[in-house]
Amino acid sequence: LAQAAKKPMTPAQPAVWGPRELDYAVHDLAVQWSAQSSQLLIACSSFIPEASNFVEVLSVGIEGRTEVQAARRLPHYYPPTRVRWLGSDLLATSGDCLRIWSASGELQRLLRHEANPQARCTPITSVDASIESPSSTVTAGVQMVSADVYGVCNLWDMETGTMQQAIDLGQPL
């Protein structure tokens, strides 16, 4: 044991993928393993002042060192504030609205925060979800919550795409 304590520890070298140069600032990201394609999917939200923004989904092959590939870009007018994978086939993004995308990049739902003191659509600053089954490919079993700049949290029924309850936290988020 005394001999082991004297030997310097050498950490294992982590794999480095890339380089992948991005032409935008990344504001938020979410990671999802795709068993179907055996790749890691990384959703990166852009922050580009005074321009249209997007969420870029990058794919990385885990076996060996492979190039990072841009899989698709999901359009956003305002900078996306949060990105979250919902199960294996859906991605939630927030900004001016809450958007639910298929893994192939098709917009599935557009949800607005209208239960706030200003009675209008307002920037969504946070989104999270609880998923019953990580392999779920449909919205059944997904419980979602989002919060806006006024501190109003919305609880969503993702199966129907409707807001179930709004909770005013009384402070901005």
Each residue of 97-132: pLDDT tens digit? 899 999 789 999 998 877 666 666 678 888 888 766
Is the entire prediction scored with pTM above 0.85?
Answer: no
CA distances to 22, 42, 77, 111 from 69, rounded to whole Å, are 11, 10, 23, 30
Q: CB under 8 Å to 124, separation ≥6 — which residues?
A: 81, 82, 94, 95, 96, 97, 98, 113, 146, 147, 148
How far is it, in rounded angstroms, from Cα 47 to Cα 25?
Answer: 5
Question: What pLDDT, on the 0 to 100 scale, is given for residue 137?
Answer: 45
How far is it, in rounded angstroms, from Cα 105 to Cα 122?
Answer: 24
- Ranges of residues in the chain with a pLDDT under 50 are 1-11, 13, 134-138
Question: What pLDDT, on the 0 to 100 scale, is given for residue 30?
Answer: 92
| Inter-residue contact 72 to 59 (CB < 8 Å) | no
Mode of pairing for the β-strands spanning 53-61 and 39-47: antiparallel
Question: What pLDDT, on the 0 to 100 scale, is given for residue 113?
Answer: 77
Question: What pLDDT, on the 0 to 100 scale, is given for residue 124?
Answer: 87
